[in-house]
């Protein structure tokens, strides 16, 4: 049996986060020692590692809840899990498109900056002019 501190270290998760996951139902209520200390087994370690990995991949908590429910029912078809992963992939691709537009804009700003003083700073000028930036964001659906 593991203490919450040991579980936290093994999974790279903060103790407060583990408690939060318990409060919102992603992690089950742990067993307790005679002294009231939380105790965790391999099943909880595996579940927390699953949650942690899903969070690293950017899945929102509600999607993780759905994935855990699917994981808890091994005879269900996996198309639902696939659909959740596809939704996440779409979100990642949209964020990447927005980041690429930001990168392009920042490169343009830096390229057009000729140095000198701030009175003629091209970076500051561009930041004051929102018209071109808004056009780029509208192109990617923001």
Pair 58, 92: CB distance under 8 Å? yes
Q: Is the pLDDT of residue 142 over 50?
A: no
With vertex at residue 105, the alpha carbon angle to CA 102 and CA 110, rounded to the nearest 5 degrees, is 125
Q: What is the CATH number of the domain that holds 48?
A: 1.10.1660.10
Whether 87 is in a domain gets the answer yes
Q: Which domain holds residue 49?
A: 4-59
Residue 70 lies in a domain: no
* pLDDT at 102 exceeding the cut of 50: yes
Tokens of 73: 């029912």
| Same domain? 51 vs 101 | no
Nearest to 109 by CA among 123, 99, 119: 123
User: Do 124 and 132 form a contact (C-beta atoms < 8 A)?
Assistant: no
Residue 105 located in a structural domain:
yes
Read off φ and ψ for residue 37, nearest 5 degrees: -80, 140
Q: Please determine, for residue 138, whether its predicted confidence score (pLDDT) is greater than 80.
A: no
Which residues, including other chains, have CB under 8 Å from residue 93's CB and lie 6 or more apart? none
Span 79-101, pLDDT tens digits: 999 999 999 999 999 999 999 99
**The pLDDT of residue 136 is above 60:** no
pTM (two decimals): 0.74
Q: Are residues 43 and 90 in the same domain?
A: no
């Amino acid at each position: 049996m593991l203490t919450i501190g040991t579980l936290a270290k093994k999974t790279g998760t903060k103790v407060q986060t583990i408690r939060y996951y318990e409060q919102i139902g992603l992690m089950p209520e742990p067993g307790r020692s005679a002294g009231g200390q939380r105790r965790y087994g391999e099943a909880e370690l595996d579940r927390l590692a699953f949650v942690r990995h899903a969070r690293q991949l950017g899945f929102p908590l509600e999607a993780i809840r759905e994935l855990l429910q699917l994981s808890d029912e091994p005879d269900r078809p996996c198309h639902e899990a696939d659909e959740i992963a596809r939704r996440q992939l779409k979100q990642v691709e949209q964020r990447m498109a927005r980041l690429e537009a930001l990168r392009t804009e920042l490169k343009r700003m830096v390229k057009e900056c000729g140095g000198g003083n701030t009175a003629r700073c091209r970076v500051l000028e561009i930041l004051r002019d929102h018209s071109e930036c808004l056009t780029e964001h509208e192109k990617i659906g923001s």
